[in-house]
Amino acid sequence: MPGIYARWIDKWERKLATRDTNRVVRPFEWGLDWLERLEFPVVPGGGFGDEREALDRFAGEALTDSDRFFSYQAPTDYRLRGNHLTFSSPAETPYAENNTVHADWFAAERDQGRAVLVLPQWNAGVDGHVGLAKLLNRFGVSALRMSMAYHAERKPAGLERADYAVSNNVGRTIHASRQSVIDARASIDWLVERGYQRVAILGTSLGSCVAFIAAAHDTRIKLGIFNHVSMYFSDVVWTGLATQHVRKGFTSEVSQEDLRRYWSMISPAAYLGRLENRKMPSLLIWAKHDTSFLPVYSKQVLRAFREMHLPHKVFTLPCGHYTTGQMPFALMDGLAMCRYAARNL
């Protein structure tokens, strides 16, 4: 039976999780049309056939050639106005707002060529992780904070939340995650063009998943900070408190195991092996009372890093997912990330 502290955190967590009243349970969609947009072969000669078979085949091919799956044509229209950077996303969508990547640049004095790409959590607004970027500056590290696909300035008209980034449209979620990974790599391009060679990536929650996949496919990234971790994208969606409205939308069409296969190419588990010879230091952060990234799934990541002898440190938060953003836990989390970046980058 959980103790007094655990019950207190859980009550606080659920209170924070239910503040938003604009969560929508959307109809289930296979979203094969979104996979067609990727111009990535599913069946030689084209054609999908049965949805389940098509998604299984697509996942297999994406995993087999993930370098191609996450490849992109580098943008040529970077524009920095003040500290606000924009450029065209290499992954075009039907939504004009989402096709422009927005990022904020926070330059530190005497950063010694060190910069961190910061990816905030799911549904973060334009101010998400701005405070963290400024805190990194105080540790002598510059920061570029990027809005992921369908977030903040990139949110299509009519949407109140970043529903298109994570949803029960299977194909669109794959497309959105791939777009965020590619946009992150394009942001790294900009940092490298500015002369930065000591580049790190930091992601929180959904941003952590995107950051890990980007780091696994881009050797220019020298350090990773993964704030809330899970092996499989689908496990978080299926079991997490924050995504129960998404889970309900799947009804009986797919199982947790099905979704683990369909979304395998946007899950960190698929790419751990790519880090074996990289010697990339990583900070893995998990919360003991997390109701969204359940501890059982976070511990799978910690165990995998340990068994594979990947260079890493673990920081354990004594709170939950939503409470990570509350004091004093937010300060604990932020200081742990900034100290790690400053000492290891």
- pLDDT at residue number 338: 98
- pLDDT at residue number 332: 96
pLDDT bucket at 280, cuts 50 / 70 / 90: very high
Label residues 67-83 b or e (16+ Cβ within 10 Å = b): eebbebeebeebeeeee
Give mean pLDDT, residues 323-345.
Answer: 95
What are the domain boundaries of the chain?
4-344
The string of DSSP codes covering 185-253 is HHHHHHHHHTT--EEEEEEETHHHHHHHHHHHH-TTEEEEEEES--S-HHHHHHH-GGGHHHHHHTTTT
Please check the confidence at residue 135 and state whether its pLDDT lies above 90: yes
**Count of beta carbons in the 10 Å neighbourhood of residue 47:** 8
The residue with greater pLDDT, 53 or 331, is 331
Please check the confidence at residue 277 and state whether its pLDDT lies above 70: yes
Q: Which two tokens stand for residue 86?
A: 């924009």
Give mean pLDDT, residues 5-34.
Answer: 86
- pLDDT at residue number 47: 53
pLDDT bucket at 49, cuts 50 / 70 / 90: low
Which of 124-133, 178-187, 333-342 is least confident? 124-133
Please check the confidence at residue 30 and state whether its pLDDT lies above 80: yes
306 touches 336 (CB < 8 A):
no
Which of 15-29, 87-101, 110-124, 224-238 is least confident? 15-29
Please check the confidence at residue 43 and state whether its pLDDT lies above 50: no
CATH of domain 4-344: 3.40.50.1820
Please check the confidence at residue 83 and state whether its pLDDT lies above 80: yes
Please check the confidence at residue 237 and state whether its pLDDT lies above 90: yes
- pLDDT at residue number 17: 80
**CA-based nearest residue to 340, from 184, 187, 225, 214:** 225
Instruction: Compute the distance between CA of residue 87 and CA of residue 80 in angstroms, rounded to an integer.
Output: 9
- pLDDT at residue number 41: 59
- pLDDT at residue number 336: 97
> What's the first-to-final CA gap in the chain, in angstroms?
42
- pLDDT at residue number 45: 42
The residue with greater pLDDT, 46 or 180, is 180
**CA-based nearest residue to 203, from 277, 151, 259:** 151
Mean pLDDT rounded to a whole number for the chain: 93
Give mean pLDDT, residues 258-282.
Answer: 95
Instruction: Compute the distance between CA of residue 191 and CA of residue 189 in angstroms, rounded to an integer.
Output: 6
Q: Which two tokens stand for residue 136?
A: 């990194």
Give mean pLDDT, residues 255-261.
Answer: 94
pLDDT bucket at 140, cuts 50 / 70 / 90: very high
- pLDDT at residue number 27: 87
